[in-house]
Amino acid sequence: MAITYISTNSEKLNNSIERGLSAKIEGNKNRFSNKKIKIIALTFIGICLVLAVIIWGVCREENQPKKANIKIKNEQINSTIAETNKFKSFVFFELSPQIEGNAFLEWFNGDTWVSYIYVYEPESVLELGIRPAFIANAARNPEVPEGYHFRPPTGWMNDPNGFSKFGQHFHLFYQNYPHALKWFPMHWGHAVSRDLVNWVHLPIFLLPDPSFDVNTTGGIFSGSAISFPNELKIFYTDSLIGRIPMEFQKMVSTINGIHPNELSKTVIPEGPSKLNLTQDFRDPNVILGPDGKWKMILGSRDSQGGVILLYGTDDPTAQSGWHFLNVLYRDNRLGMTVAECSGLAPIDGNPQDPNTLWALIYAQLNSTDPATGRRDITTVHVGKFDGTTFTPMFEQEMDFGTHAYAFQALYSQELGTLTIAWLANWKDWNWDTKPDFPTSTILPRKLFLSADRKSLLTPPIDWVISKLRNQQLDLDKQLLKGQFVDLPNGTAEISISLQNFQSNILEPISSDQRSSNNSNNENLKFIRLEIEHPKITNVGVEISFEGIEILYGLPKQPQQRLIALGAKPSQVQILLDTGSIEVFADGGRWTGTVRIPGTNKFTKIRLIGDLSLVTRSEIWGLKPAEFKGKLQIKK
């Protein structure tokens, strides 16, 4: 099948060369109007009985005399296949045309606004992905061809959802608004991977209520997925501010891993009334408990702060019988409100072993750390879970950079516990967020106990890093000499080892001493990896008397320090990608992530400070990930 795009305006059109798709730009102005006609030409090779065409459209103006409509045309047919009089919300159309040869999708730009069109074949979409045929400018993500972090094919993304393994694929669902680079009514985007590096974009899995308009605050909020031998079951929050109840929990299942089998059903209609909670009641995390029964963890709040709720069911299918068991945990520190994206995961053994320790992870929404100014911190408590109560043993932060939010965990006997999160934070988002706001996930991480069982480690997954490595850089060790090392692709893995670091009492550093222009930097008791960026100054990772810190200078940002106070690591691994820095110290004992605005690439790095403390360095250039089903733009 071939797709040709014929447009009459100057908008840059889509050009995908995947799997034989071709494109060209032609066009003529409509002689009766200064508005323009847009045409997409489809060529069907053979009769495509299983091809699906997905279209979103809406009226250009409120109360316009003519409905928005899209036609399909060829020598035999000329008929309207999509029509709506809606103005404030995009209407979803799914078609299965049975056509051979050439056909055209056509609409008049004066009355019809089309946001997104893609096609796919159900029997091959898990391997080949969707085929984007048209994406409006408002929904197009910036191009990041060198990137290796997961990004959606169109529109906005925040929390990852339903992170799971079903059959031969890892499944990643995610909060998505496909029609703009803004947070609006939430959909569930969907992708699969065999290796957690390369991804295949699939059809959007869940849509919000069609009655929601574009200004609605709500939609299909976050949730989780559990894998059965022949079925993946999805649990999520249906949310709408102003409705009572505002949030309730629903379930839907899929057999083919592509579409829901049926309409979703409500499994928990409202929160427990006796606890005097607010209407916040969301983000179901479903797990198999140590008693062999299904449990659901939900986040809420009361007048004091965050509340984490535990539900359970005796139904082995997890489809019914959900009932409230207990308040699992409360937290009112740092001014937090809702305990968002709460979850439990086993971290050192089989979940049905009573000696297994568990990680209780949640985001402290609206929290502020007074020592550093950091916001929306994610914390983890490690402890015992008996199926009803959780007994914490120790606590630490999941990410000192705080730009890893809404963690999702996946446990399997073969892989252990893996986790993924949104590579951003609500504190640096607002309704005026620019289109260059990178929407992506962190690189997937492992989750396990340290050898002394006193710390939780969250390093990147070793096989993921091995697959990304491309070319070893700096073979003559210029980094150890304090010289700049170029980053040809702007992406890199940098590893350094520090000699007797914990026994060297490092001194506090002033802002003047941190400056790379200070000629005496090499004599100071600190180590800093200076990272050159064309738009942002003072970017780097520093280890000093105070701890390990990610430094970067952004204008008009609240003052904050992305620092793990007191950390004294002996090994540091740093991952650079367009739009992000991830730091893993001492095998993930201290992990920090920061989102870098824009799509400019890092250019070079060097070490400054007391270089005698650095005993080893290694730098790898990293390959871009492959994203099937992603739009390719012809420059």
Q: What is the pLDDT of residues 172-211, one digit of tens each?
A: 999 999 998 888 899 999 999 999 999 999 999 999 988 7
- Beta strand 627-628 with 199-201: parallel, antiparallel or unpaired? parallel
On the question of pLDDT at 505 being above 70, the answer is no
Q: Which CATH architecture has domain 2-120?
A: Sandwich (2.60)
Write phi, then psi, for 483 (nearest 5 degrees).
Answer: -95, 155
Closest Cα to residue 222, out of 174, 265, 182, 254? 174
Sign of torsion over alpha carbons 67, 70, 74, 76: negative
Q: What single-letter DSSP state applies at residue 600?
A: P
Positions marked active-site: 159
Q: Count the neighbouring beta carbons within 10 Å of the beta carbon of residue 553.
A: 10
Q: Give the three-class secondary structure for 434.
A: coil
For 52-98, the three-class secondary structure string (H helix, E strand, C coil) is EEEEEEEECCCCCCCCEEEEEECCCCEEEEEEECCCCCCEEEEECCC
Neighbours of 43 (CB within 10 A): 17
pLDDT tens digit sequence for 517-553: 444 444 458 999 999 999 988 999 999 989 999 998 7
Q: Where are the alpha helices (DSSP H) in 369-519?
A: 462-468, 511-514
Q: Which residues pair with 6 in a beta bridge?
A: 39
Residue 310 CB-density burial (10 A; 0-12 exposed, 13-18 middle, 19+ buried): buried
What's residue 501's pLDDT? 60
Q: Please, which residues bridge with residue 331 across strands?
A: 306
First to last CA, the chain: 23
Average pLDDT in the chain: 87
Of residues 80 and 15, more confidence is placed in 80
In whole angstroms, give the CA distance from residue 27 to residue 43: 18
Give me the amino acid identity at 52.
Answer: A
What does each C-alpha distance from 399 to 300, 320, 403 come to in angstroms? 22, 36, 8
Instruction: State the pLDDT at residue 13.
Output: 31
Sheet-wide strand order for 416-422 = 405-412, 416-422, 445-446
Each residue of 321-353: pLDDT tens digit? 999 999 999 999 999 999 999 999 999 889 999
pLDDT at 582 over 80: yes
CA angle 596, 599, 603 (to 5 degrees): 80
Which structure tokens are listed for 271? Answer: 């929160």
At 434 the pLDDT is 64
For residue 504, the model assigns a pLDDT of 54
Map residue 538 onto helix, strand or coil: strand
Residue 628 Cα to chain centre, angstroms: 17
**Do 214 and 59 meet the contact criterion of CB atoms below 8 Å apart?**
no
Place of tokens 């824009």: 598
**What's the confidence (pLDDT) of residue 223?**
99
Type of residue found at 228: F
- Three-class secondary structure of residue 241 per DSSP: coil
CA distances from 1 to 43, 70, 94, 328, 605 (A): 5, 20, 18, 54, 46
Residue 630 pLDDT class (50, 70, 90 cuts): confident
Q: Which residue has the higher pLDDT, 15 or 365?
A: 365
